[in-house]
Amino acid sequence: MRDHGGNLDQAIARFGGDPADWIDLSTGINRRPYPVPTLPPEAWTALPTGAAKRALTEAAARAYGTGAAILALAGAQAAIQMIPRLLPCGTARVLSPTYNEHAATLRAAGWTVEEVDTLSDLPGANLAVVVNPNNPDGRDHRPEALLDLAGRVGTLVVDESFADPLPHLSLAAHAGQPGLFLLRSFGKFYGLAGLRLGFVIGAEDAIETLSAMAGPWPVSGAAIEIGRRALADRNWADETTARLLGETARLDAMAGAAGWAVRGGSPLFRLYETPDAAAAQDRLAAAQIWTRRFPYSPTWLRLGLPGDDAEWQRLDHALRA
């Protein structure tokens, strides 16, 4: 099933209320977003220029610590949909369970997809996908292990959409070699998912081909300007990382008091083992707090981190009720 978090309309249809009444913790999107600056009029009125696009990718290269070629796209999702069509179809192996769009888009493009359990199951595939850190359980892999894997598959796609607060996991410093693609999401860490901005990093010739597929204006002028400024603001990134790392312990303690066990997670979301995920989700939904459960597990429940103090207090009260 291609189900996703962020489906607040379904929660409202079932439990009532208006969107403003709800705390949506069903995604891993930072609920304390980067402050959107005032934009120059041309960000809205003019087509994005080549200079503006280069300024954005240069800011991304500095933020991610890479010298490899980068393409800005309308979210990491755009790269997930494009890469399967860049290569001749064959056998793809996806380290699972994970973000379900990887397997779904590969199948839609004509690939034979095998969802496997361990990194050691991936060698020999024409294309392999690893999400690092993984969504939803936060499982992670050392860069050295992934570099070794890259030499044993045709093409390796490493989705680093949740890696901003965990830069030691990133392969960005090693990117650029043939057969390796890295995906980075802007909207999750910066809390601006509606901006639809992400990046694919890879070998220069492959990035040029993807750029031709994406067309001349793959992201908006507003996304370019906001993304460029945010990626250059390392003080905000460092302060946000420190806050998120501290708040995961707070959320784990609250969940533990409710009788839930930590199953995994990252600084942007936590996954818990509950006695009954459907009942736990309904209990929080009664307090207009939306969470994420999974069709393949009756016990897993994932929560993003609340934003301000009022949200933390509402969640604490709901968990204690």
* Binned average pLDDT, 10 residues per bin, the chain of 321 residues: 87 95 97 96 97 98 98 98 97 97 97 98 98 98 97 98 98 96 98 98 98 97 98 98 97 97 98 98 98 97 98 97 86
Task: Quote the DSSP letter at residue 182.
Answer: E
Listed in sequence order, the DSSP H helices in 112-219 are 143-150, 187-190, 204-214
* Contacting residues for 13 by C-beta, under 8 A, at least 6 apart: none
Contact 125, 94 (CB under 8 A): no
For residues 264 and 262, give the distance between their C-alpha atoms in angstroms, rounded to a whole number. 6
Q: Please name each of the domains of the chain with its CATH number.
A: 8-33+235-320 (3.90.1150.10), 41-232 (3.40.640.10)
Cα 202 to Cα 50, 57, 72, 184, 308: the distances in Å are 20, 13, 12, 11, 37
For residues 51 and 40, give the distance between their C-alpha atoms in angstroms, rounded to a whole number. 15
Category of 308 on φ-ψ map: left (φ > 0), alpha (ψ -120 to 50) or beta? beta
DSSP string, 261-277: EEEEEETTEEEEE-S-H
Q: State whether residue 242 is helix, strand or coil.
A: helix
CA 24 to chain centroid: 16
DSSP string, 267-318: TTEEEEE-S-HHHHHHHHHTTTEE-EEETTEEEEEEEE---SHHHHHHHHHH
Cα 54 to Cα 69, 225, 227, 229: the distances in Å are 11, 11, 12, 13
**Percentages (nearest 5) of helix, strand, coil residues in the chain:** 45, 20, 35
For residues 57 and 71, give the distance between their C-alpha atoms in angstroms, rounded to a whole number. 7
For residues 239 and 5, give the distance between their C-alpha atoms in angstroms, rounded to a whole number. 26
Strands 261-266 and 198-202: unpaired
DSSP string, 74-141: SSHHHHHHHHHHHS---EEEEESSS-THHHHHHHHTT-EEEEESSGGG-TT-SEEEEESS-TTT----
For residues 234 and 212, give the distance between their C-alpha atoms in angstroms, rounded to a whole number. 31
